[in-house]
Amino acid sequence: MIDPRHNLTLEDIDRQSFFHPNTDLRAFAAGELGDPTIMVAGEGLRLVDSKGRRYLDAASGLFCVNVGYGRQAIADAMHAQASRLAWYHAHAGHASEPAIRLTDRVLRLGPSGMRSIFWGLQGSDAHDTIVKLVWYANNAVDRPAKKKIIARDRAYHGLTVMAASLSGLPQNHRGFDLPIGPVLRTVAPYFYRDAPPGMSEREFSARCAAALDRLIVAEGPDTVAAFIAEPMMSSGGMLPPPEGYWEEIRRVLRRHDVMLILDEVVTGFGRLGSWFGAQRYGLDADFISISKGLTSAYLPLAGSIVSDRVWAMLERGSTRLGPLAHGFTYVAHPVCSAAALANIDILEREALPDNAARMGAVLIAQLRDRLGDHRFVGDIRGDGLLVGVEFVADRAARRRFDPALRLGTRVVALAREAGLILRALPDGDSIAITPPLVVTSAEIEEIVAGLSAAIDRAELARHADV
């Protein structure tokens, strides 16, 4: 007798047994959300799925495919390293050549004052590593009470236990008994929505810094270890730092000897038009996390970059406490390191950070030209190729649509039906446009035209007065 399970389609097997992240499990398994999308091939910004549908990916996957799909040179580098030595561990003084060369290369590309890199696999584990190192470093210098970490409202830093605790999105806490640990929260620099009418960007930045200062003073500076933030907030709203923001924040952190952890998981490797957001905004940091654009997602890899100052603290700790007992099996994986080196070759050779700056300006100009006067477009903002559009029911009052309608999500779904991939942000009414750094001006025209058509089809006027 034929076992009917042998006749299942790939889609059936997926629905039955594949555990999709961030998905309504029951509805998906029951087929209520339609078939899974199974991508099969990619080239540049173009993707093809198993049914032959074609897409233009203006989201870079999950903000990660910086050099675009289908780069043979990266595949070749992975193949060559896997053939020679697929893996050996990096514990207790072991290493591989690509991992050592990658460490040196990234430190040279990054801001000054950074000393070493702990290699993990993804943004989330980089943040868990960094929090452990912050605690360890403060223990090493006899500041055992200095342990609290401040994160911003709306922040997204990943979903492992500590990273999810740092993230400020309620849906990532609900049902998981999170957040845990000594995590505090301060305001996000959401100028468009939170600045009162007439307030300048500088005044608003000073207000954000004052809120941070008040929080640190109220908690006791001796208990606050670090502040974590993206140089420009991405998923939390596509919020470029308002004028003077980083100067003011940096001053507060220095005053209270609070470390700065820069989450460059999205902004690292060219997206803001410079190699790192730290350079774009003239920032020095105690830790910088990197992932995504580091390999352009050809393989998983993340780094926790540690400053000279923190390194000295860690050295003291490992002298006192014995070998620093943190590490994973796949730390500094040789094949992932080879992929990263080949990816950085492409970013450099094709000057892709410069292209991101140029094309980002073209994208914002075209969006403003085409949608700037649109009745339901409240704000168009961004830096480099991190760009957002926020929809509002009433432009003058900046009144939101009913959040339950999730109109941003609707616009993104309609664009996708027409083959354009964008990303809806978690608050429902903003969308992100973040194409690979290889995007051309012709592709930008295609993206803007596709977005405009999706907005027309979303019939926002029907929902404006409810």
Ligand X SMILES: Cc1ncc(COP(=O)(O)O)c(C=O)c1O
Total binding residues toward ligand X, as defined by CB under 6 A: 14
CB of 340 to ligand X, least distance (A): 14
149 is a contact residue toward ligand X (CB under 6 A): no
CB of 156 to ligand X, least distance (A): 5
CA distance 458 to 466: 16
Part of the chain binding ligand X (CB under 6 A), chosen from 87-95, 116-124, 254-262, 275-283 = 116-124
Location of structure tokens 């590593």 = 129
The H or E element that residue 408 is part of is helix 407-417
Site map 185..204 versus ligand X, x via CB under 6 A: --------------------
CB of 452 to ligand X, least distance (A): 27
Q: Which of 96, 138, 165, 234 binds ligand X (CB under 6 A)?
A: 234
CB of 287 to ligand X, least distance (A): 13
Q: Which of 151, 212, 232, 265 binds ligand X (CB under 6 A)?
A: 265
Part of the chain binding ligand X (CB under 6 A), chosen from 17-25, 131-139, 230-238, 369-377 = 230-238
Q: Which candidate, 345, 300, 353, 352, places its Cα nearest to that of 73?
A: 345
Part of the chain binding ligand X (CB under 6 A), chosen from 48-56, 151-159, 340-348, 411-419 = 151-159
- Is 122 within 8 Å of 330 (Cβ atoms)? no
230 is a contact residue toward ligand X (CB under 6 A): yes
CB of 154 to ligand X, least distance (A): 11
CB of 92 to ligand X, least distance (A): 26
CB of 365 to ligand X, least distance (A): 26
Cα(first)–Cα(last) distance of the chain, in Å?
58
The amino acid present at 326, given as its one-letter code, is H
Helices (H) and strands (E) in the chain, counts: 16, 15
156 is a contact residue toward ligand X (CB under 6 A): yes
Closer by beta carbon to ligand X, 63 or else 401 = 63
CA distance 314 to 311: 5
Hey, what are 78's tokens? 């992975």
Q: Which of 10, 62, 73, 85 binds ligand X (CB under 6 A)?
A: 62
57 is a contact residue toward ligand X (CB under 6 A): no
Sequential DSSP letters for 354-405 = HHHHHHHHHHHHHHHHHHTT-TTEEEEEEETTEEEEEE-SBTTTTBPPPGGG
Q: Before 179, cis peptide (omega within 30)?
A: yes
Q: Which candidate, 114, 53, 145, places its Cα nearest to that of 305?
A: 114
291 is a contact residue toward ligand X (CB under 6 A): yes
Part of the chain binding ligand X (CB under 6 A), chosen from 228-236, 269-277, 337-345, 357-365 = 228-236
172 is a contact residue toward ligand X (CB under 6 A): no
Q: Which of 157, 271, 333, 381 binds ligand X (CB under 6 A)?
A: 157
Closer by beta carbon to ligand X, 163 or else 392 = 163
- Paired residues of 116 in beta bridges: 306
Q: Residue 450 contacts by C-beta under 8 Å, 6 or more apart in sequence?
A: 56, 58, 415, 418, 419, 420
The DSSP 8-state label assigned to residue 286 in this structure reads: S
Helices (H), 122-160: 123-140
Part of the chain binding ligand X (CB under 6 A), chosen from 110-118, 121-129, 217-225, 361-369 = 121-129
- Is 78 within 8 Å of 319 (Cβ atoms)? no
Closer by beta carbon to ligand X, 266 or else 433 = 266
307 is a contact residue toward ligand X (CB under 6 A): no
Categorise residue 374: left if φ over 0, alpha if ψ from -120 to 50, beta otherwise: beta
**Footprint on this chain of ligand X (rule: CB under 6 A):** 62, 122-124, 156-158, 230, 234-235, 263, 265-266, 291
